[in-house]
Structure 1
């Protein structure tokens, strides 16, 4: 992973603090100040989702795909039993310990948080119905698209913009050096296929990751001594139980994405793994002669740190192998 969106939060129990005394922590990952204005508390209720057959299939699928499948959601039950008007300010890209008690884990309580951003109101429940991120509800004609992630075990809420994730780099100036940017990335990026749980690291394809804002890709390939087809791998294992997946096909998806979003750049770390008998020299030669060499205008491979304007619409190769 190039840059990971880390959500640092203390574990209440690790500090010797009973959880019912743990304060809610808010991280503002937007470029605008956020103010928490109201806190409503509700009784929470776990409700079953889906039917028996669907839940059984989902549970089996989650095992093979290394994902989490839940058969229950936490929802609000009845009217709020307390409402408190507050004024907690969180500056852009900062974290604030609000001093407000977080809901106890386990779904017994839900707090509804109302925020003000540039004069408009947004609302989110914590915890959200499922363990996934949630879109914040607009309470007026608010223009922003916002997403929230609540981590119950840490009493931690992160708020981020979800608008234009496919082309967020177009808002940045050309002269920005790439190392100054916080660039979201994924580990073993193409491992979204049906595979053993220890192999599958991602839930969606590389193209879908790019459309959702990821710009750093971690790629592992197996190289042979006499064939420039590069199979995608995770350590010594292929990334799919249904047959090899190849570097060339993944590149086609990335090229299509960059053609549709020329303001963006993709940083690609390439490393040799797998059971192939090829060496780093083989890998570097295959990349030079077939992949990079045939589409040189799509790659940035100069031995210097680029500015964003140098590599828009291109892949920046980050080498984790020796060269010939």
Structure 2
């Protein structure tokens, strides 16, 4: 089978699985459904500088700014289905059209997961030799079975209701680009992933070390470093580095407020590692959004 034929078959399978996911539209949904509906309402109905302060619902916006912008984009599609879902005061609103729209967004964004799986399979076919009893097996089929139709991911995203699929798709695209030697693209994609969901931070040391060793350090035949190119690492920190100065500034200025319990933001559930770290993170994001909305320079 040619590469074109394999690709066509792959996307046909993606379409068939998507049809199966449509059968889950009326299935169980968790409180995360209301969480994301509320985030749609917040990002659409309120000015940018109030996104992280809104607390009408207990499900306050606690994801990084890029995910907030993702919800903001989705909110415009919600207008077509049911504008009432975008009312911040409409708590626990779940009309049939609201359910349809929100679950469709998960199915559609899974295209990014499928694309990530396909790109990783192409890289694997180039760097991993075929061995075993079936040397003609293709990695697209194997990764499709392991990831795209993964039962756990299916239940969490399409029944419980989350957007993990497209996030893992970005992760796989990042890995594929880095494996191809396209370090700038891979680093930028991973930095974008961290700006979508902070939980992927635990992978950052491995990605950073690999970028440093493979893409930044040039060695001779004996393995002795000859030159260092920090470009990929700059790309890796491109979306995050703009906040480093703000992090230090707000640590100094807001630490007493944390100690006295005067800082009002809901930070208890942002990160499981500690309230202080989560508070600093969300303070940082709010400050960044404030400066962007007022067109102020990030670094003075």
What TM-score, normalized to structure 1?
0.27
Bigger strand share: 1
What TM-score, normalized to structure 2?
0.28
Bigger helix share: 2
